[in-house]
Amino acid sequence: MTETPTIKPPLKILLCAPRGFCAGVVRAIDIVEAALKRFGPPVYVRHEIVHNRFVVDALRAKGAVFIEELDEAPDGDAPVVFSAHGVPKSVPEAARARNLLAIDATCPLVTKVHREAEIHHKRGRLVLLIGHAGHPEVVGTMGQLPDGAVTLIETEADVARLSLPPDRDLAYVTQTTLSVDDTAGVVAAIRRRFPAVYGPHKEDICYATTNRQEAVKRVAPECDALIVVGAENSSNSQRLREVAERAGCPVSRLVARATDIDWSEFTGLSTLGVTAGASAPEVLVEEIVDAFSARYAVTVEMVSTADESVFFPLPRELRPPAA
């Protein structure tokens, strides 16, 4: 008896663009690979170079050794790469004291925030840092200045609780991977209470975070569900999921790999949105699309809201010699 072939239900996938790797992530990964090529393994990397297990495991297979603290690296001239999130000033100082070969993979847009905070501090201003407590980028930014020079602000309620003299000189900077809308609310609350506060000349939330959130805002209202490809500890990926939820998407989920999909949440779909956090490689997006193609008759439509052409060069010590 011939079996009747199962007819797959149709599914339109709206693929957000831009999505996935940003210039800072590409540079950070390239730095580790260039260091492995130049110096050979092992190359020590303090903290996950970017927040994605797939990327970390791929670099580990090539000879990168991931450590959480500098004292896990042996004494001597072993290369140690600092992650894209940035580190407190005490970390490179400790590396120099031990003669380690320190290579800084901090995203240049994070470094921009560090420099802004330093300038405000030199000018006598208390720095308000809008960000998430404990995130490596926030730890790194606060660690650029002496204790007490930076006050962390997470919510508008934190602004209301500030107890400062009316004549205190203030400035604010932000983590680069925040929700654009949430941050606008916190900034507005700061400006209402402290109209003379100094802000960045150009917003600190990076172009990649902004662009990926804008694409999700465009797509989410048209979808029955939306998947953000990314890691649980990735701030920019978590914000994309929240943006989709707020934009009216009934189901928005953060998924690391296709094997993590809870299929009970993705039945009876007609339209699915897919995007990826700035530290998620495109191969994982393709994996997700393939998983849906096994269950649905998929058509893919690209929804683009911005073109990105940003490029950050490698640090000088890893650039190929001039011809």
DSSP per-residue letters across 108-171: HHHHHHHHHHHHHHHTTPEEEEES-TT-HHHHHHHTTS-TTSEEEE-SHHHHHH----TT--EE
Q: Which amino acid is at 229?
A: V
Structure tokens at 250: 């009934």
232 is catalytic: no
Annotated catalytic residue, options 69, 137, 154, 203: 137
Rg of the chain on CA atoms, in Å? 22
Report the SS3 class of residue 75: coil
Paired strand residues for 128? 151, 172
In eight-state DSSP terms, residue 198 is: B
Strand order in the sheet with 79-82: 64-67, 43-46, 79-82, 101-104
- Cα 14 from Cα 243, distance rounded (Å): 16
Q: How far is CA 319 from CA 148, 201, 239, 313, in A?
A: 38, 30, 34, 8
* Backbone φ and ψ of 272, nearest 5°: -125, 130
- By the 8 A CB rule, do 277 and 236 touch? yes
Query: For residue 151, how far is the Cα from the chain centroid?
Result: 22
Cis (ω within 30 of 0) for the bond into 146? no
**Structure-token pair, residue 47:** 């903290």
Count the neighbouring beta carbons within 10 Å of the beta carbon of residue 314. Answer: 15
Structure tokens belonging to residue 206: 């990076």
Distance CA 111, CA 289 (A): 35
Show which residues are catalytic: 137
